[in-house]
Structure 1
Amino acid sequence: MMTCSNGTSVCTRFLMWFLLLYMFVRKVLPEDDIIVTTKKGKVRGIHLPVLGGTVTAFLGIPYGEPPLGGLRFKKPEPRNKWTEIWDATKHANSCYQNIDKTFPGFPGSEMWNPNTNLSEDCLYLNVWVPSPKPKNATVMVWIYGGGFQSGTSSLPIYDGKFLARVERVIVVSVNYRTGALGFLALPGNQEAPGNAGLFDQRLALQWVQENIAVFGGNSKSVTLFGESAGAASVSYHILSSESHPLFTRAIMQSGSANAPWATLTHSEARMRTLTLAKLLSCSGSNDTDIIFCLQNKDPQDILENEVSVLTHNSLLKVYFCPIVDGDFLTEMPQTLIQHGLFKQTQLLVGVNKDEGTSFLVYGAPGFSKDNDSQINKTEFQVGLSESFPEASELGVESIIFHYTDWEDEQNPDNYRDAMDDIIGDYNIICPVMEFTKFFAQLGNNVFFYFFEHRSSKLAWPEWMGVMHGYEIEFIFGLPLERRVNYTKAEEILSRSILRYWASFAKTGTPNGTQINGTRWPIFTTTEQKYLTLNTEASKIYTKLRAQQCRFWNVFFPKVLEMTGKHLVNMRIYCSMQAHFPDSSTVFQFESQSLYLKRLFQWNQILMSFLRQTLIHFSRSLPCYSSVCYATPNVSDIQRADMSASS
């Protein structure tokens, strides 16, 4: 046997070298080379170190054929099979979208811009699997927001690894088409029927049903969750019967299908499509010729011109969004909601404290991210007129009357905060509350939250408060990464939210096996209890923004009706009046009605409308605690009529 001069066996030295090499190769390859066989082909994932453990990520798995050429604007087609191993170790393309260039280099806006290449070949999804690989794990499918105009699943704020690691659930996130490429429609024409982006989401959910078992997931325990337009998308799936078998439960964060920005009428959708076609020189003798022309335009040209389809300025710039197509959506959302045509399941839903501020810095007079945005009364009034361009003058006046702090009407902070409340109530909070009330009325278990914590990492100014979208980092567990320097209290809050969301996904209740602390109550149509989420102890309150939402749901539509005006995109409706009376708002109705009475004394015809409306209210307003609230003095109105006519 050969030996070295020091007596060590050459074979022994060779064996030691071989073992070291083997350990190195084993360390590199198996950790970075994980292969799973889906129904369409094999995919290679990657192990990620997370909080002292491991999560296996499969990034950029294709679920749909690239919607190019003749497939543009159409429903997606399932991805064809592939023969090679698909590399799913890095994020795929983002769908074509306009980039927010309002504040170049500013982290608060740049964090939402796509971080991968833009392409129409973008129908991909991501899967995060806890390690060791589970058996029959609950699945949580994330749908991003972006007003149906933008968004991508590859953003760091949507990283599913912390949720998968801490709660041992499988997290899935999906890309879907947005803007004109996702929602352009000529209703009734199969070349562009509308809702392509929603059908993308449904196809991804079908992929989950067919494939999640090989990742260790349970296809019978799938919870959808999303924020803003993602939450509206979740509610669309709740309202669309073909989606019902594809998921189990739902979580809606700051958005719902009945929001004024979330649906277009047929006529408005058609007008916007034809406007875009004209801008792109796509004229034709029929709709099919127009669509064929649009299918052959450069996608960047479509993006650059879609911003010109609106006939008026708007803080919430939604150019193309879902429509009633008779397929995915059979009626307008509020009609389906009123008729109770939901998937019968459990719902976790909520909103943030300052939902409106995110939109104000994008064009409201006097607002800026670089100062305190203390606006005066004139800027407040102009801002409202621009925010509600289709409302009558009296409609705008009624908003001013309701939201002005009459005890301190010269305070610029109050006008700034009122604009936040108006935009947030009208576009987010009140539609979400209405959806929730109808959903709970059917006996479904609902859990409502009110997120109150302003992140210590927030780049936006202090006056913007707890902004739209900034609960997401806590739901995905970003504060658990110590090197990012969140506070300890924020880490604790994030862990609590992770547990709430995952427990709800697993069991249908966020409380899980919790014994200590505040238990999250069920939301009912009568008590309307909700839980606060912040770094302090959670508290339980009732009837969030009840007075303000009563204004938007009942009073404001009546004002528009009286003046012969309506909002084309007005989605909030009046039918809740008989179901959910709120004594605190009756006083407000009376004072607003008297205000309108005085304002209308000069106009006999409008006074007649007002008289009938006030009489209607006086007959329908109930009594509470043995106190009947005052009815309108009709004789005063009649005298005002006579004065106006003389």
Structure 2
Amino acid sequence: MVMINFFVLLGLTQIISGILSATIGTTYINEAYTAVNTSVGTINGFIEITRYTNGQPRGALKFLGIPYAVPPVGNLRFRKPRPATNFKQPFNATKFGPGCLQNKFLMSLWLPGRAFLSEDCLTLNIFAPIHSNGPRLPVMLWIHGGAYQIGQSSIYSAENLASYGQVIVVTINYRLGPFGFLATKDPDSLGNLGLWDQQLAIKWIHENIEYFHGDSSRITLFGESAGGGSTVYQAMYSGNKGLFARTISESGVAMSAWGYNTRDKMLDFTKRMAQNLKCPTANDRDMLACMRNVPAQDIVDKSRVGTESENLFRPEFVPAPDGEFIKQYAPDIFTKSCLISDQTGSVFDNIDMAFVALTGDGTAVTGSTMLPYVKKRMSKTMSPDDIIEKSVIPNILSDRFNISSPELAKIMNFLYSDWNKILGNDSYQTKLLNLDTDYSFYIPIINTATAHAQREKKKRTYLLGFEKHSSFTLPLEYKPPNLHADEIPYFFGFPDSMMKPFAMSRTNITVEEIKLSEKLMLYISNFAYSGDPNLPISPD
């Protein structure tokens, strides 16, 4: 029997709303160093005191900017990551490393982080509660989102989650865009280098986290958007067997429309980029040698090679089958779980999995591509609903199912109509949002959760629905119930690092939202402890 445990958070309306006092959530840094001796050498961190709830101080140990790989620069560009060498001197882990190179304009559109970017970016950060000599603590490894194009670990400072949930939290950087996901036929650069980066970080944590009082047998991967997709891709890779026990995939899985492409299309995009860079394309080895010698920023600037229709659902450089890391095409196997091979299932079948879906997840694609696509084509003779029926929906049917059916497009256009006409003549925007929420998020998440449950390997599957409209939810013109990524500040306990990226104000966060954050942090830390969001501490 297939069983998926489902629960919905409506926002805890029974809690009396109020305004959070200015002291809650603020942090105070103690400059005293704390040293940890590891297999790679001595790492110096520091103690930070956070007053997250009721003004009660909680301490967290922070170790920032630890390199887990040799810098992927020069001749190592477009190659798999290599483990970092041991430290000859104690490493002072007191500040975040740079984010990986990315398009700064795209970065400014969604959760803008620091402009401190570099090709030398493969670092990780560790946050741990101040502990005694009690039992080792579960570990939660966060993989950031950003459509595999943007994002950085410094946004996700995890001292509140670590201290409140009594877990060790790790956040990582990994290569993005063409640096992380170009594809060639050269054995040294088949593709998915960003996933290989993540996997090397997972191995580093598995081998070293016990020095930080972590339990290497209870590692949970969790991530949002592309980070959520990455947790599933890592679960599909047989080389991860025994390296982690659980995953939490928020607002993204491997078969999310924006998170995969065919290998042929990835090879084509890579050659188009090489042509933009004036590099030869007849031989992959020569092409790579040329691209390894051009300035890194040129690669960022010349990588937008897709057409408008090719980029309607996904950017150019995303994960794709390579015969090595990804051996099966995610959209196929998660719609029919019987097609999951023994090799792909060797990890996927043997871990607990939890999934999170937001009612407004589609804002990620609706606002960036689909809404501009429709508005560009509107005219006196072509209404928005006509464009959706005759262009947007056919693109969806062709993209996923390789079919063309005007009759089906007409039915879908009718079914997704906003009969309440909340936006009046602009109600087509609600239709677009609901279409993309289903196509890019909800249906892929449901399919993946169902596939995991159907494998019936005595592992647990959970699905969390998030409907909360928050005080910091941006007022977009099409009035979504919430925004893609709105749940993240709750999961991390509203750290200072998220105030600017999420356009939040410390004084406007309500007591209700703090209580919801506490509940969510208990859900995920419980899951890291036991594989059950409700144990060992009841969130209710």
Distance 2:93 2:186 in 1: 36
Q: Identify the match of residue 64 of structure 2 among 56, 59, 62.
A: 59
Kept in 1: contact 2:271–2:281 (CA 8 A): no
- Map 1:370-389 to 2 at 5 A: 378-382=383-387, 385=391, 389=395
1:358 Cα shift?
3.2
Distance 1:365 1:141 in 2: 34
Match of 1:47 in 2: 47
Q: Does 1:74 align with 2:73?
A: no
Which deviations, in whole Å up to 9, do the C-alpha atoms of 1:407-432 show, x marking residues without a partner?
86994353221111001100111011
Match of 2:18 in 1: none
Q: Identify the match of residue 492 of structure 1 among 515, 537, 540.
A: 515
SS of 1:361's partner is: helix
Kept in 2: contact 1:354–1:464 (CA 8 A): yes
Which deviations, in whole Å up to 9, do the C-alpha atoms of 1:467-496 show, x marking residues without a partner?
111100101111899954311111110000
* Count of aligned pairs between the two proteins: 477
Match of 2:236 in 1: 239
SS of 2:113's partner is: coil
- Map 1:247-646 to 2 at 5 A: 247-310=244-307, 312=309, 314-337=311-334, 338=337, 339-340=339-340, 341=345, 342-365=348-371, 378-382=383-387, 385=391, 389=395, 391=398, 392=404, 394=406, 396-405=409-418, 411-412=424-425, 414-443=427-456, 444-461=459-476, 463-478=479-494, 483-513=506-536, 517=540
1:34 Cα shift?
1.4
Q: Does 1:123 align with 2:122?
A: yes
SS of 1:439's partner is: helix
SS of 2:188's partner is: coil
Match of 1:149 in 2: 149
1:46 Cα shift?
1.3
SS of 1:200's partner is: helix
Which deviations, in whole Å up to 9, do the C-alpha atoms of 1:113-164 show, x marking residues without a partner?
2315211100000000101356411000000111011111001xx1110011
Match of 2:7 in 1: none
Kept in 1: contact 2:29–2:47 (CA 8 A): no
Structure 1 pair 406–216 and aligned structure 2 pair: CA distance change class (3 A): closer
Kept in 1: contact 2:349–2:452 (CA 8 A): no
Amino acid at match of 1:281: K
Which deviations, in whole Å up to 9, do the C-alpha atoms of 1:6-47 show, x marking residues without a partner?
xxxxxxxxxxxxxxxxxxxxxx99842111122222211111
Amino acid at match of 1:494: S
Amino acid at match of 2:176: T
| Higher-RCO chain (CA-CA 8 Å, sequence separation at least 6) | 2
Moved beyond 6 Å, runs of 4+: 406-410, 479-482
Amino acid at match of 1:68: V
Kept in 2: contact 1:310–1:319 (CA 8 A): no
Which deviations, in whole Å up to 9, do the C-alpha atoms of 1:376-404 show, x marking residues without a partner?
98124335625764744726434313312
Kept in 2: contact 1:315–1:360 (CA 8 A): no
Which deviations, in whole Å up to 9, do the C-alpha atoms of 1:32-73 show, x marking residues without a partner?
211112222221111111120211100000000000112111
Gaps of 5+ in 2: 1-27, 52-56, 375-379, 399-403, 500-504
- Normalised by the size of structure 1, how large is the TM-score? 0.69
Higher helix share: 1
Structure 1 pair 479–209 and aligned structure 2 pair: CA distance change class (3 A): closer
- Map 1:211-222 to 2 at 5 A: 211-222=208-219
Distance 2:172 2:29 in 1: 27
Distance 2:175 2:325 in 1: 15
Range moving further from structure 2, 446-455 or 199-208:
446-455
Structure 1 pair 251–211 and aligned structure 2 pair: CA distance change class (3 A): same
1:459 Cα shift?
3.2
Higher strand share: 2
Kept in 1: contact 2:257–2:313 (CA 8 A): no
Match of 1:521 in 2: none
Distance 1:80 1:403 in 2: 55
Amino acid at match of 1:124: T
SS of 2:43's partner is: strand
Which deviations, in whole Å up to 9, do the C-alpha atoms of 1:84-131 show, x marking residues without a partner?
2212111001100012369x7xxxx46x22315211100000000101
Kept in 1: contact 2:274–2:281 (CA 8 A): no
SS of 2:302's partner is: helix
Kept in 2: contact 1:47–1:54 (CA 8 A): yes
SS of 1:464's partner is: coil
Which deviations, in whole Å up to 9, do the C-alpha atoms of 1:304-345 show, x marking residues without a partner?
111123463534441111121111111112444423422322
SS of 1:277's partner is: helix
Structure 1 pair 483–360 and aligned structure 2 pair: CA distance change class (3 A): closer
Point out the structure with max Rg over C-alpha.
1
SS of 2:218's partner is: strand
1:359 Cα shift?
2.6
Amino acid at match of 1:478: F
Range moving further from structure 2, 471-480 or 283-292:
471-480
Structure 1 pair 316–44 and aligned structure 2 pair: CA distance change class (3 A): farther
Match of 2:4 in 1: none
SS of 1:59's partner is: strand
- Map 1:78-97 to 2 at 5 A: 78-97=83-102
Kept in 1: contact 2:474–2:483 (CA 8 A): no
Distance 2:62 2:76 in 1: 30
Match of 2:23 in 1: none
Match of 2:196 in 1: 199
Structure 1 pair 483–416 and aligned structure 2 pair: CA distance change class (3 A): closer
Distance 1:513 1:248 in 2: 17
Which deviations, in whole Å up to 9, do the C-alpha atoms of 1:499-553 show, x marking residues without a partner?
0100011001001145685xxxxxxxxxxxxxxxxxxxxxxxxxxxxxxxxxxxx
Distance 2:72 2:439 in 1: 35
Q: Identify the match of residue 163 of structure 1 among 156, 161, 165.
A: 161
SS of 1:245's partner is: coil
Distance 2:475 2:381 in 1: 22
1:215 Cα shift?
0.5
Distance 1:37 1:271 in 2: 47
Structure 1 pair 376–456 and aligned structure 2 pair: CA distance change class (3 A): farther
Q: Does 1:138 align with 2:130?
A: no
Kept in 1: contact 2:174–2:194 (CA 8 A): yes
Identity of aligned residues (%): 32
1:405 Cα shift?
4.7
Kept in 1: contact 2:393–2:409 (CA 8 A): no
Kept in 2: contact 1:74–1:190 (CA 8 A): no
Match of 1:564 in 2: none
Which deviations, in whole Å up to 9, do the C-alpha atoms of 1:332-368 show, x marking residues without a partner?
1244442342232211112001111233232444799
Q: Identify the match of residue 181 of structure 2 among 180, 183, 190.
A: 183
Task: Tell me the C-alpha RMSD between the 2 structures.
Answer: 2.9
Kept in 1: contact 2:257–2:314 (CA 8 A): no
